[in-house]
Chains A and B, each alone.
Chain A
Amino acid sequence: MKNDAFISIRNVNKYFGSFQAIDNVNMDIGEGEFFSLLGASGCGKTTLLRMLAGFESTSDGEILIDGQPSADVPPHHRPVNMVFQSYAIFPHLNVADNIAYGLRKHKLSKPQKQEMVDEMLELIKLPGYGKRKANELSGGQRQRIALARALILKPKVLLLDEPLGALDKQLREQMQLELRALQRQVGITFVFVTHDQEEALTLSDRIAVMSGGKVLQVDTPEGLYEAPTTREVASFIGNMNFFQGTVRRNGSSEAAIETQGLGSIPISLEKVTKPDGAPVQVALRPEKFELLEEEPTGGHFVSAKMDKTAYLGERSHYYVTLDGKSEPVAVSSTNQFVARDDDRWKEGEPVWLSWSPEAVVVLDAD
């Protein structure tokens, strides 16, 4: 936690009546960062965002924005702007008036305002749309206007509440890339709320995974994916296989984990700090496994039986059963070398599973 963080959230709790929506959240967000709050519905991410905007007050704790405590500062005085989930475009104003809405207080001349609006329209790639009526536009266009309306005020922080949720898949992916490029271009801190993990992984510098009002882990996308710290985070992002195991130590020089299903796995000492005999879980992503038709000569491997296969075009998912593990293990591999009618893997046939210990993640036991 850096002390010179741009936004500091310290020991914040929020209660709605007796319901606790935010539970002791601590977070630092750096200047110019694209920071995402990721979680399922009801995890508190939108509440946290609204507290940054000033629409909800904290029950305890404090939030500092650019060093300034934000308690009791109402939304219209904060250097923070928000893009709402419904975009909230004013239907009785045209596009230019919508974008220029927040400029009224700043007492600019008409030509000055016009110039700023035109610049914004260029930025969001809707040049010349100024006179159009706001409700005649498509969802994607309204979303960009909502962005422009916020950015024109040069806020220190831009908050985005699931802005891409209402768009269809193609448009959403396109907007994701544009959003990322836009953020880099203007250099403003973005705090982005989403329940879509792919979106978070694509866009963010760092992500905070939330559940039940608590923050589970804050990390870069790679960190969250490759090194999750809890089972919940591990299974929230992508798919994950879990194996129960026990720590085995030989003095302090070597460590291994005796797992149910994968046998004994040597583990580097940094990854496991627990004493000998302690129960742990071991997690491996499906794509970290390799399927082999014949027993390999070296490395770590185990014999298995093919249970089900699923062809997804770009890749295939395989489910194999191992001795010592009740649920099948999910394996995923690209179909780079697979042509038509390649039924290499037949259900019920014996196969071999290979993996590398470096890809193993060690977690606390349930």
Chain B
Amino acid sequence: MADTSLSPAEARQSAERIKTSWFSALLYRSEALRGYLLMSPTILILTIGIIIPFFILVAMSLWTRDGFGFDTTLTMANYARTWEEPIFGALLQRSFWISGVATVATILVCYPMAYYVAFHVHKNKMMWIILMTLPFWTSYLLRVFAWKVILGYEGVINSGFMSLGLIEAPLEFLLYSQTAVIITLAHAWAAFAILPMYVSLEKIDKSLLEAATDLGDGPVARFLRITLPLSMPGIIAASFLIFIPTTGDYITPALLGGPDGAMIGNFIQLQFGPVNNWPMGATLSIVLMLWISAIALVFLFVTKKAQDKIA
């Protein structure tokens, strides 16, 4: 074999020349240290962008407005207000109601679609998946705006139906209502919600269904006894993925909700805008997060109990 610059003596020399510093040695030994070093910029961003702001938010929620500044004495006054003044409770309730209905509607509408692509599409599956999810990656603002165009007083539905002679006067209930918000939310988040359900359905081992057929189940029984329970994790994930972000939404209620469809998000945004009561805004944000966590925990608990019963 052709001998090149790899003689044993040289190789040994180069090995000896390597003086590993104590830090390199430490890095070599500790995988955890290497990992953390790699993650450090990310951790830095997370700290600046999430952790520290969160703490300051909590701090601010304990302050109160004082003219144009803040009275920094710690007090639970804001929290007390949210508890006592009925408007906050009502807003929260309405927000959860709207989000809840939108979540249920979205899941009901999207599940058959997810089922179709998972079970009935054999060619170009990727194309279907891309088509299903593409709208979600585009501007949320624009998609909400689209619905404003559709549902408006002189919008697509009204003007379309009128020019077709189906109705005589524009339908007023379409816009600036809870319904408008729910429809828009459901449509906007459909593309996002469908993914976890699809993944869950896709993962189901088809041989399980064949076995069930072999043991005498018809299609409905197969669906109820095997497909549905096995796709539950996807349904639960999708529920969270829709419910949690939509409770705090304020673009949709701002553009389409009107007074009836206002949600807690609008209120929070007001506190940081015209009302200029930042501590209150902070408090409302924290309260919203606490309520979301509580609802999520209850939901998880209930579904777990239900799953244990089924299994």
Contact = CB atoms under 8 A, between A and B. Distances in A.
Given A77-B15, A119-B1, A153 B6 contact: yes
A179 interface: no
A94 B95 CA distance: 59
Contacts, number: 44
B29 A68 contact: no
Main secondary structure, interface of B, reads helix
Contacts of A119: 1-2
B28 interface: yes
A158 to B, nearest CB: 14
Contacts of A116: 1-2, 4
Nearest to B17: A77
Contacts of A112: 2, 4
Contacts of A72: 20, 24-25, 28-29
Given A72-B25, A79-B11, A106-B5, 6 more contacts: A57-B28, A68-B12, A77-B14, A78-B15, A119-B2, A154-B6
Interface residues of B, number: 17
A14 to B, nearest CB: 12
23 contacts: A57-B29, A66-B12, A68-B16, A72-B20, A72-B24, A73-B15, A73-B20, A74-B20, A74-B24, A74-B28, A77-B14, A78-B15, A106-B4, A107-B5, A112-B2, A112-B4, A116-B1, A116-B2, A116-B4, A119-B1, A153-B6, A154-B1, A154-B6
Contacts of A153: 6
Contacts of B224: none
Nearest to B5: A106
Interface in B34-90: none
A72 B25 CA distance: 5
A156 B8 CA distance: 8
B6 A106 contact: yes
A41 to B, nearest CB: 23
A343 interface: no
Question: Which are the 9 A-B pairs with shortest beta-carbon distances?
Answer: A72-B25, A57-B29, A72-B20, A154-B6, A79-B11, A77-B18, A72-B28, A74-B28, A106-B5
A172 to B, nearest CB: 27
B15 A79 contact: yes
B26 to A, nearest CB: 9
B101 to A, nearest CB: 48
A45 B4 CA distance: 34
A153 B5 CA distance: 10
Contacts of A77: 14-15, 18
A310 interface: no
Interface string A119-158: 1000000000000000000000000000000000110100
B185 to A, nearest CB: 44
A88 interface: no
A182 to B, nearest CB: 13
A112 B4 CA distance: 8
B27 to A, nearest CB: 9
Contacts of B18: 73, 77
A66 B5 CA distance: 19
Nearest to A156: B8
A108 B2 CA distance: 12
Q: Max chain B CB contacts within 10 Å: which of A68, A72, A108? A: A72
A115 interface: yes
B28 A115 contact: no
A68 B20 CA distance: 14
A188 to B, nearest CB: 11
B3 to A, nearest CB: 9
Nearest to A77: B18
